[in-house]
């Protein structure tokens, strides 16, 4: 009888490393990549997020700044404030093309 392998966890969003952004009352960006984002693009996405975050000082323009960096890579970001900790911004990354 062949060995039984443990069940794989269901694919879902995965966490990428946090991106520091200490502007407009925030202390950082918590980043999640969707299931349509391959893990081999994680470093490219992180670099784009850091560039976008450096270019922006207010939360109102952050989504646009991040998407300006992500769009050439084929991704888009959606931002929302963390309801439990308003100093954290949640960033969801998805394939945009």
pLDDT tens across 9-63, in order? 556 789 998 899 888 888 889 999 999 999 999 999 999 999 999 999 888 899 9
Q: What is the pLDDT of residue 26?
A: 86
What confidence category does residue 67 fall into, taking pLDDT thresholds of 50, 70 and 90?
very high
Residue 72 has pLDDT above 90, yes or no: yes
CATH number of 15-95: 3.10.20
Domain ranges of the chain: 15-95
Alpha-carbon gap, residue 69 to 49, rounded angstroms: 7
Alpha-carbon distance values, 60 to 22, 34, 36, 51 (Å): 14, 23, 27, 17
Q: 43-65 burial string, b = 16+ CB within 10 Å, else e?
A: eebbebbbebbeebeeeeebbeb
Q: Does position 7 have pLDDT exceeding 60, yes or no?
A: no
What pTM was estimated for this model as a whole? 0.80
Q: Is the model more confident about 86 or about 79?
A: 79
Are 19 and 50 within 8 A, CB to CB? yes
């Amino acid at each position: 009888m062949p060995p039984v392998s443990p069940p794989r966890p269901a694919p879902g969003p995965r966490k990428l490393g946090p991106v520091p952004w200490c502007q407009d009352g925030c202390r950082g960006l918590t980043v999640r990549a969707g299931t349509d984002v391959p893990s081999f693009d994680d470093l490219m996405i992180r670099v784009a997020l850091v560039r976008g975050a450096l270019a922006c000082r207010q939360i109102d323009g952050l989504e646009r700044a991040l998407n300006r960096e992500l769009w050439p890579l084929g991704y888009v970001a959606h931002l929302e404030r963390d309801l439990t900790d308003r100093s954290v911004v949640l960033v969801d990354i998805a394939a945009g093309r």
